[in-house]
Amino acid sequence: MKFKNEKELGFGNKRYQNTVRFLNRDGSVNISRRGLGFENLDLYNWFISSRHSVFYSILLVGYLAVNFIFGSLYYCIGADQFGGIDTSTEFQKFISLFFFSAQTITTLGYGHIYPVGNAASVAAAFESLLGLLAFAIVTGILFGRFSRPRAHLEYSKNLLIAPYGEIKGLMFRISNKKQYELIEAEASVMLSMNDPQSGKRIFLQLPLEISKINFLTLSWTIVHPIDDKSPLYGLSIQDLEKLDMELMILIQAVNDGIAQTVYSRFSYKAHDIVEGAKFRPMKTEPDARGRLQLNVTEVHHFDYVEK
């Protein structure tokens, strides 16, 4: 089988012995770069792109850890270096100094506990400076996370091979998950698989029925016709699994709320394909105000058809 229109996406053309995935389901690139040294560690980008649960867990653990460290430092300096502290038990001393640390690092300073010795004052001054710097950095990262322009799309869980006129079509469906509108949406679909003849990894641009729409308001079913010119023509799902097929999708559109171009990536593997099915129409019902109601989760629903 000879393939045409082969593209190079920066993934190389090596044929891997094991199954690989270039894009994760969440659209992130499944590549870990190593050998660059600690100075090239991109912590800012990692914090910007990490999941919310991971990011906020790190913030909470870091906040507690810093206060525990400074609380321990104040405890080692001595409770007699602080005024207004509860010294009923050793544990209460530490707890009081822990919360004094929390008040100091945020520059809140209730004044109930206050340093009276030089060592305690120097430690508190250093913690205040550290708190100002740390919260300035965290504020910048939070702003970067919330202001990062991106498309929030819901992709159908499965690829379908469905009747398409007199032939068949490979199709998936997307819908906008947010309340803002996407305009001038454009889809690019790249097929990656092993070439059994050349023994290398190939990348092919798949022609689409419609590659661009003006408004992505409800849903969009993106279709690749499987005709005699298609690289998928004559291949079964089992063949695609043997060839380690991956379908990589790039959607770009304009977010009219911020007037910026946003992007979304996704990928499917051969085991995501369902043959002999078609997508079930998504219900749109007007409410009392005349606005159409759309259940985005219906983007996944499909029905089997008779062969």
Residues 287 and 238 in one domain: yes
Which CATH number characterizes residue 263's domain?
2.60.40.1400
At 250, is the secondary structure helix, strand, or coil? strand
Average of per-residue pLDDT across 214-239: 91
Residues 56 and 123 in one domain: yes
- Is pLDDT at 149 greater than 80 in this prediction? no
Domain boundary among 103, 125, 147: 147
Residues 296 and 160 in one domain: yes
Averaged confidence pLDDT in the chain: 86
| Six-digit token string for 147 | 């202001």
pLDDT digit string (tens) for 29-80?
Answer: 776 666 666 666 677 777 887 888 899 999 999 999 999 999 999 999 998 8
Q: Name 215's Cβ contacts closer than 8 Å, sequence gap at least 6.
A: 181, 182, 183, 185
Residues 193 and 66 in one domain: no
Residues 65 and 165 in one domain: no
Closest C-alpha to 301, from 280, 285, 284, 283: 280
- Is pLDDT at 136 greater than 80 in this prediction? yes
Residues 137 and 205 in one domain: no
Residue 214 has what pLDDT? 93
Closest C-alpha to 181, from 104, 284, 260: 260
Residues 198 and 239 in one domain: yes
pTM: 0.71
Counting the structural domains of the chain, the total is 2
Residue 40 has what pLDDT? 63
256 in any annotated domain: yes
Give how far the C-alpha of residue 271 lies from the chain's centroid of Cα atoms, to the nearest Å: 22
Residues 160 and 231 in one domain: yes
Q: Name 49's Cβ contacts closer than 8 Å, sequence gap at least 6.
A: 28
Residues 143 and 188 in one domain: no
Q: Note down the domain range covering 226.
A: 153-304
At 38, is the secondary structure helix, strand, or coil? helix
28 in any annotated domain: no
- Is pLDDT at 4 greater than 70 in this prediction? no
Phi, psi of 173 (to 5 degrees): -130, 145
Alpha-helical regions (H) of 84-182: 90-105, 118-147
pLDDT digit string (tens) for 103-129?
Answer: 999 888 777 888 988 999 999 999 999
Query: In angstroms, rounded to a whole number, what is the distance separating the alpha carbons of residues 52 and 44?
Result: 14
Which CATH number characterizes residue 116's domain?
1.10.287.70
